[in-house]
Amino acid sequence: MAERFSLKDALFNAETVGQLASEYAGAVPGFDADRFQAEALAGFPDRELMARLDWLADCIETQLAGDFPTMAEQLEAAMPAPLDPSLKDDDFGKFIHAVPGILAVRHGLEDHRDRAMELLYRATQRFSMEFYIRPFLNRWTEATLADLDTWAVDQNYHVRRLVSEGTRPKLPWAKAVTLTPDQTLPLLDRLQGDPTRYVTRSVANHLNDLSKTHDDLVLGRLSAWQAQATQTPKELDWMTRHALRTLIKQGHPGAMTALGFDGEVPVSVALDIETPQVAMGEALCFSCRVAAEVDLPLLVDYRITFARPGGKQAEKVFKLKQGKSTPVKPFEVRKVHKLKGDATTFTLHPGTHLITVQVNGVDRAQASFELR
C-alpha cells in the first residue's frame, strides 16, 4: 500500500529546516545553524502541523535577543527576498517563514504594538500573516484597523490581501476576531476593485464567511459594488459567484436572483437512479432531465441525505451543472458519484440514502438508493 501523503512532513523536514537555518545563520551573528537544525528536527515527530510552527519559533527564539526591538531587527534581517510582486495569484510563500509572526505576537503584542506591526508588514510579503494580525485586532482594535486601512492601498498585493484575509470572520485554522461587519466592510469596499485575483479571492471568501450570518448585508454590498463599477464586470461576476457559493448551496432565493437564476419558473424534472443498490466503494449513477416552457438559465445541484447510525441523517450538497433549458431542448446531465468507503473526512454507513435534485435553488425531484 502506498504511503499516505503527510502535509506536515512536506512542509517541515530537513530540507526546509536547513533553508531556515541558512537564512538565520547568514543574518544573525553567532546563530548556530547546526544546533537549531538538530533541536528543530528532534521535536517534529510528536507535533502536528501548526504545533511545528510554534516549535520552530521556540528553537529560533533561544538564539535571538531578549528585547523585542532588537529581536525584530534580527527577524527582518533573516527574511528572504519578498515574494514576486509581478505575480497575481497563488503565491502564498513557505510556512517556515511564519516565525516572525509568531514572535511578534509573543513579544510585541502588549508593549511594542507599533514595532510588531512593522514586523508583520514586512513578514507578510514573504508569508501571509493572516493568523498573527488577529491578536492585534482583538487587543488594539481601532489602531490596528487604522493600519489596515492604510495597507488596503499598499503597492504590494500581499499586504493588501492581508487586510481582507486577516479580518475574515471564519478564517480556517485561525483564532476568532471580535469584529463587526461595520468595521470590516469599509476595508472590503477599498479592496473590491483590486486588479489582483489573490486579493479579490480573499474579498469573496470574506463575504462568503459573512453570508453565513449576514446574508442580506452581503447581497446588498455586492449590488452596491456592481453599481459603482470600479471592478471589471468579468471579475466582479466571478467574485459574486464565489462569495455566494454557500448561499447557493442552501438554495437562497436572493443569491439565486443575484446570479440570474429564477426559481419561480415552472419546470419538470425527471430523476433516474441507474444504480438503486450501491456497494461501498462503488459509484452512484444517476441522470436528470429538466424541461421548461421558456428559455431558462439553470443551476442544477444535488443533495445526498446520508444514513447515519441510530437513525440519524447528514446532508451534503454537491455541484452538478450549470446550463440552459429551452422549449425545444431540455437540459440533460448524467453523474457518476463515487461513494468512497475509506474517506477520512466523511464516514459512510450502509442504509437507505436519498438524493434530491435542486434546480435554481428549489428542490424539484427526489429518489432513494441503498448503500450496502
Residue 117 and residue 224 in contact, taking contact as beta carbons nearer than 8 Å? no
Q: What is the pLDDT of residue 28?
A: 97
Residue 336 and residue 273 in contact, taking contact as beta carbons nearer than 8 Å? no
Asked if residue 311 has pLDDT above 90, the reply is no
- Could you write out the DSSP letters of every residue in 3-51? PPP-HHHHHSSHHHHHHHHHHHHTTSTT--HHHHHHHHHHHSTT--HHH
Ordered structural domains, the chain, with CATH: 1-129 (no CATH), 141-260 (1.25.40.290), 267-371 (2.60.40.1930)
Asked if residue 2 has pLDDT above 60, the reply is no
Q: What is the pLDDT of residue 91?
A: 77
146-200: pLDDT as tens digits = 999 999 999 999 999 999 999 999 999 899 999 999 999 999 999 999 999 999 9
pLDDT band at 1 (very low <50, low <70, confident <90, very high): very low
Asked if residue 86 has pLDDT above 90, the reply is no
69-72's contacts with Cβ under 8 Å and 24+ in sequence apart are 69/112, 69/115, 71/103, 71/107, 72/100, 72/104, 72/108, 72/112, 72/115, 72/116, 72/118, 72/119
Average pLDDT of span 286-298: 93
Q: What is the pLDDT of residue 360?
A: 93
Q: What is the pLDDT of residue 312?
A: 85
Give every CB contact of residue 111 below 8 A, 6+ residues apart in sequence. 68
* Count of positions (residues) in the chain: 372
Q: Give the Cα separation of 292 and 261 in Å (integer).
A: 13
224-238: pLDDT as tens digits = 999 999 999 999 999
Q: What is the pLDDT of residue 344?
A: 65
35-62: pLDDT as tens digits = 999 999 999 999 999 999 999 999 999 9
Lowest mean pLDDT across 68-82, 101-115, 286-300: 286-300
Which residue in this structure is represented by grid cell 440514502?
A: 353
Q: Give the Cα separation of 125 and 159 in Å (integer).
A: 7
Which residue in this structure is represented by grid cell 527564539?
A: 61
Please give the torsion angle defined by the CA atoms of residues 150, 73, 100 and 197, in that order, rounded to the nearest 10 degrees: 40
Residue 129 and residue 166 in contact, taking contact as beta carbons nearer than 8 Å? yes
97-154: pLDDT as tens digits = 999 999 999 999 999 999 999 999 999 999 999 999 999 999 999 999 999 999 999 9
pTM given for the model: 0.86
Q: Give the Cα separation of 106 and 267 in Å (integer).
A: 59
Asked if residue 89 has pLDDT above 80, the reply is no
Q: Give the Cα separation of 261 and 248 in Å (integer).
A: 10
Residue 8 and residue 52 in contact, taking contact as beta carbons nearer than 8 Å? yes
> Could you tell me which residues are beta bridge partners of residue 336?
285
Q: How many helices (H) and strands (E) does the chain have?
A: 16, 8
Q: What is the mean pLDDT of the chain?
A: 94
Q: How many CB atoms lie within 10 A of CB 325?
A: 24
| pLDDT cut 70: percent of the chain above it | 98
* Parallel, antiparallel or unpaired: strands 283-292 and 267-273: antiparallel
Asked if residue 286 has pLDDT above 90, the reply is yes
Asked if residue 3 has pLDDT above 80, the reply is no
Q: Would the CA dihedral through 31, 32, 33, 37 be positive or negative? A: negative
Q: Give the Cα separation of 284 and 348 in Å (integer).
A: 13
Which residue in this structure is represented by grid cell 442580506?
A: 216
Asked if residue 356 has pLDDT above 60, the reply is yes
